[in-house]
């Protein structure tokens, strides 16, 4: 049995997932996620030594098309939902350095 999920685990995962959690959320999630993972422990009872994993449920092949040039979304439409647009059709973000 792995040890129960800790507060430090929750803080580490939040950083990985780019979520800045409040103190209350950290406390709540530590308990709730630990409960859920504990419930999931029952999967250990299943012998899967010889079992391959299912990544996709139904075998389907992605359709191929002729390699013709087709119209794509106009640039202005693709950019229309950006929260902050820079000049010349660029997405603007806060500074990336100093990290």
Partner 1 sequence: MTPAAPDETIAELRAAVASGDRSAVDICQHYLDRIAECHDRLNAFTTVLREKALERAATIDLNRDAWRDCPLLGVPITVKDVICTREISTTAGSRILAGFRPPYDATVVTRLLAAGAVILGKTNCDEFAMGSSTEHSIYGPTRNPWDLDRTPGGSSGGAAAAVAARLAPVSIASDTGGSIRQPAAFCGVVGVKPTYGRVSRYGLLAFASSLDQIGPMTLTVSDAAIVLGVIAGFDPNSASKPVPNFCEALSGHVRGTRIGVARKILADGVDAEVLDAFEEALRVLTAQGASVIEVDLPHMEYAIPVYYLVAPAEASSNLARYDGVRFGSRAPTNDGETTVERMYDQTRDEGFGAEVKRRIMLGTYALSAGYYDEYYVKAQQVRSLIRLDYDRALKRADVIAMPTTPTPAFRIREKIDDPLAMYLGDIFTVGANLTGLPAVSLPAGLTETNLPIGLQLLGRAFDETTLFRLATAYERDVPWWKKRPPVATV
Residue with tokens 């992605």: 62
Burial environment of residue 29 by CB neighbours within 10 A (0 to 12, 13 to 18, 19 or more): buried
Dihedral sign computed on CA atoms, order 60, 65, 71, 74: positive
Q: Give the residue with the Cβ less far from partner 1, 51 or 69.
A: 51
* The only residue of 3, 52, 87, 88 in contact with partner 1, by rule CB under 8 A: 52
CB of 37 to partner 1, least distance (A): 8
* The only residue of 48, 68, 71, 87 in contact with partner 1, by rule CB under 8 A: 48
Tokens standing for 80? 């229309």
87 binds partner 1 (CB under 8 A): no
Residues in contact with partner 1, total (CB under 8 A)?
56
């Amino acid at each position: 049995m792995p040890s129960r999920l800790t507060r430090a685990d929750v803080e580490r995962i939040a950083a990985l997932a780019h979520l800045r959690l409040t103190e209350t959320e950290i406390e709540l999630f530590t308990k709730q996620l630990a409960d859920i993972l504990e419930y999931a422990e029952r999967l250990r009872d299943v012998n899967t030594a010889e079992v391959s994993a299912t990544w996709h449920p139904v075998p389907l092949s992605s359709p191929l098309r002729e390699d013709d040039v087709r119209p794509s979304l106009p640039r202005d439409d693709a950019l229309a939902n950006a929260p902050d647009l820079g000049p010349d059709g660029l997405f603007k973000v806060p500074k990336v350095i100093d990290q």
